[in-house]
Amino acid sequence: MKRRPQIPLIHMVSIALLRKLGLQCRFQSTRRPTAPLGSRILTDPSRVFEHNMWDHIQWSPEQEDLARQKVEENSSVKIPVEEQVKYDKDAGLYWDEFYRAHQNKFFKDRRWLFLEFPELLQHRTHECNEVDLESKNLSISCSCVSLETQTKLAGIGRAHAKQTFETGEKVNSMERTNGGMNFKHKLKDWKRTDIQKNQGCFPGSDCTFKIFEVGCGAGNSVFPILSEIRELRAFLYCCDISARAVDLVMSHPLYNASQCYAFVHDLCDEANSTYPFPEGCIDVILLVFVLSSIHPERMQKVINRLSKLLKPGGMLLFRDYGRYDFSQLRLKQGRCLFGNFYVRGDGTCVYYFTKEEIAHIFITAGLKEVQNVMDCRLQVNRKKKIAMHRVWIQCKYQKPFTKDLN
């Protein structure tokens, strides 16, 4: 009789622990693993079309040289300077047109937010900050304990949120019907003077945990977040340069005016840089694929202003395009404004970052680096048999406490 292979003791203990907690091991699950930035590693190139995404892809020197050549080629023809002004000046109009054409159907809801950014969950923020500070350069091989912690963080509240969806919709509908308009008028009054804000009279002032999403678009982060914080004393502020995008958020059936305040705001408008809440009151700022749409010369001042909104110890969570991403390589000549800053065919702009650029911007704004990683993945279209190298940058920066500043 052929003997069964022995399972290492550490694996047996790990499996027993995770089963007791009702969790799955990464090697037991058929879904995409939940370790930070993924842990599905392509070790056999012949299996590339078995999954839609592979994580932690290592580029060869030849691939980097080819990517650099493509960028140099599509950047060789610049848009005339006199034409560049309109893309910065009329950015809001271009995004309005974008959302008029696509409504809320272009982007998918970001259900991955709580896997990568568990700081969005109020009662786990402190614990997650400690984990991040201890593991800034997390390796691919995570320990069973960290996997357990991260998996539990990702699953907190999901089952409960689904059960309360219908109840939330009914309550939200009643608020809009019976008093929603009056509440909106009150919210407009909050922005009239800073005196009210200083006295603690502003939307969400009675909540213990405040999240601010910058560049909310049609709500692809808003509604996953609202579903998670529905039963918590948490409040979500969200803004966008596009009035049409904000209208899409506020007209959504899951928009809850008692727990969310959406408003139109241009991050680059220094003259009107007021917010419906005072400085130093925000626990978490979410900045996902937004900074790349801003002119590089304005980025530093934008982050400087946002950093003032955070509480001491508050976190700024960032994710955006990295240098040599597939979307940059496929741009055609004549789309480059300058450097690695481009305009798309619809008039919206995009910049492709390096880790060093992001670190300089956020640290100059007085924030402390907790995480700054390059997320290199291989995205696969199994139907068309196409593999695309995606490059994103994911960061977490924290506002220091007073003792840290000293």
Give 117-145 pLDDT, tens digit per residue.
999 987 555 444 444 444 444 333 333 33
Stretch 178-207: mean pLDDT:
56
Provide the residue range defining the domain that includes 141. 9-405
**1 falls within a domain:** no
Give me the pLDDT at residue 50, please: 86
Query: Does residue 96 carry a pLDDT above 50?
Result: yes
Residue 366, CB-side half-sphere exposure with 13 Å CA sphere: 20
**54 falls within a domain:** yes
Q: How far apart are CA 138 and CA 132, in angstroms?
A: 9
CATH number where 188 lies: 3.40.50.150
Of residues 278, 276, 162, the one with CA closest to residue 223? 162
13 or 180: whose pLDDT is higher? 13
Of residues 42, 31, 32, 56, the one with CA closest to residue 394? 56
**71 falls within a domain:** yes
20 or 366: whose pLDDT is higher? 366
17-to-12, 160, 235 alpha-carbon distances in Å: 9, 24, 35
**102 falls within a domain:** yes
Domain count within the chain? 1
Give me the pLDDT at residue 261, please: 97
306 or 51: whose pLDDT is higher? 306
**4 falls within a domain:** no
Share of the chain above pLDDT 70, in %: 71
**268 falls within a domain:** yes
Given its phi and psi angles, is residue 324 left (phi above 0), alpha (psi -120 to 50 degrees) or beta?
left
